[in-house]
């Protein structure tokens, strides 16, 4: 079976009918329902051939079209008095088509404005800056918070380096790390986060050793600590 593709896309049965009317140069105000009905049916057949699902809405309108068509085929009764009550069965369909056409047209104009608007941008509302966190405030967190925060940091370290291609175990002692941190402290600002300290750590063990070293430094009153709202560990050189 050859590959067939339909590039046309219709928003619904009314859209399809409008297309067929245009295609077959039918007069919408004197609609030839027979032609429209045949064309409509032919289109649905084509869709089935293409193995496209024909949505139920199309079938509902097909029924309407067939009804109109069959009414036209029946001989007109001489209704006499009822004359003025006889309504052209097409009228309802034509009215709907025209109404739909109006909105389809105006949609296009609305879309121009919509597209224009996409090219215009705004800033989010300004927020008041919060000062309470980090830099200032008291540095007297409790050890439980610190423990939780450390767990979080470890998790993050692991997430960031999920695939270990090579495993090299490097022994680092706390003493070595202590010395390294003391040297590093000189280059760090007064207040820094634990994460800045483990920037150079490539394995979870190194982060742990660093953490133990930091605990040592806190014990020796070299550093003070504070745990932020999102479990960040802030460290600060002690005044003393």
Partner 1 sequence: MIIEELMIHEMDEKEKWLFEHTPSLVTRVEKISDLQGPKDAMAIVEGLLYIVGEDGVRIEQIAMAMDIEYNEALDILKDIQRKYAKEDYGIELVDYGGYYKFLTKKEVHPYAQRLLDLTKTNSLSQSALETLAIIAYKQPVTRIEIEDLRGVGSDMMLRKLMARDRIREAGRSEAPGRPILYEVTETFMDSFKLASLSDLPELPEHTSDEESESLFSE
Q: Quick one: which of 231, 60, 34, 48 has its CA closest to 152?
A: 231
Whichever of 107 and 221 has its CB closer to partner 1, that residue is 107
Contact 24, 39 (CB under 8 A): yes
How far apart are CB 77 and partner 1 at their closest, in Å? 29
How far apart are CB 169 and partner 1 at their closest, in Å? 42
How far apart are CB 28 and partner 1 at their closest, in Å? 5
Whichever of 54 and 179 has its CB closer to partner 1, that residue is 54
Beta bridge partners of 224: 236
3-state secondary structure of 191: strand
- The first and second tokens of residue 149, run together, are 């925060």
- What distance in Å separates the CA atoms of residue 202 and residue 9, rounded to the nearest whole number? 55
Whichever of 11 and 88 has its CB closer to partner 1, that residue is 11
Report the interface residues with partner 1, using CB under 8 A. 9, 11-15, 21-22, 25-29, 55, 57, 61, 96, 98-107, 109-111, 113-114, 116-126
Contact 100, 18 (CB under 8 A): yes
How far apart are CB 228 and partner 1 at their closest, in Å? 25
How far apart are CB 6 and partner 1 at their closest, in Å? 16
Residue 142 gets the label, from left (phi > 0), alpha (psi -120 to 50) or beta, of beta
Whichever of 94 and 222 has its CB closer to partner 1, that residue is 94
Contact 216, 175 (CB under 8 A): no
Whichever of 29 and 167 has its CB closer to partner 1, that residue is 29
- What distance in Å separates the CA atoms of residue 67 and residue 65, rounded to the nearest whole number? 5
């Amino acid at each position: 079976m050859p590959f067939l593709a339909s590039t046309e896309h219709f928003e619904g049965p009314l859209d399809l009918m409008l297309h067929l009317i245009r295609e077959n140069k039918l007069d919408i105000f004197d609609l030839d329902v027979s032609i429209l009905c045949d064309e409509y049916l032919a289109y649905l057949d084509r869709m089935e051939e293409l193995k496209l699902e024909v949505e139920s809405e199309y079938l509902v309108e097909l029924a309407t079209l067939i009804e109109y068509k069959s009414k036209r085929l029946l001989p007109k009764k001489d209704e006499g008095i009822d004359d003025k009550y006889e309504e052209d069965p097409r009228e309802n369909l034509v009215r709907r088509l025209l109404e739909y056409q109006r909105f389809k047209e105006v949609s296009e104009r609305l879309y121009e404005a919509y597209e224009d608007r996409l090219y215009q941008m705004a800033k989010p509302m300004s927020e008041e800056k919060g000062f309470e966190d980090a830099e200032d405030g008291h540095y007297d967190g409790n050890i439980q918070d610190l423990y939780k925060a450390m767990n979080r940091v470890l998790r993050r370290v692991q997430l960031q380096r999920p695939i270990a291609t090579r495993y090299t175990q490097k022994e680092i002692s706390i003493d070595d790390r202590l010395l390294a941190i003391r040297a590093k402290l000189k280059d760090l600002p007064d207040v820094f986060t634990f994460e800045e300290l483990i920037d150079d750590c490539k394995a979870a063990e190194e982060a742990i050793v660093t953490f133990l070293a930091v605990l040592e430094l806190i014990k020796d009153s070299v550093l003070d600590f504070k745990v932020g709202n999102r479990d960040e560990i802030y460290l600060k050189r002690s005044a003393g």
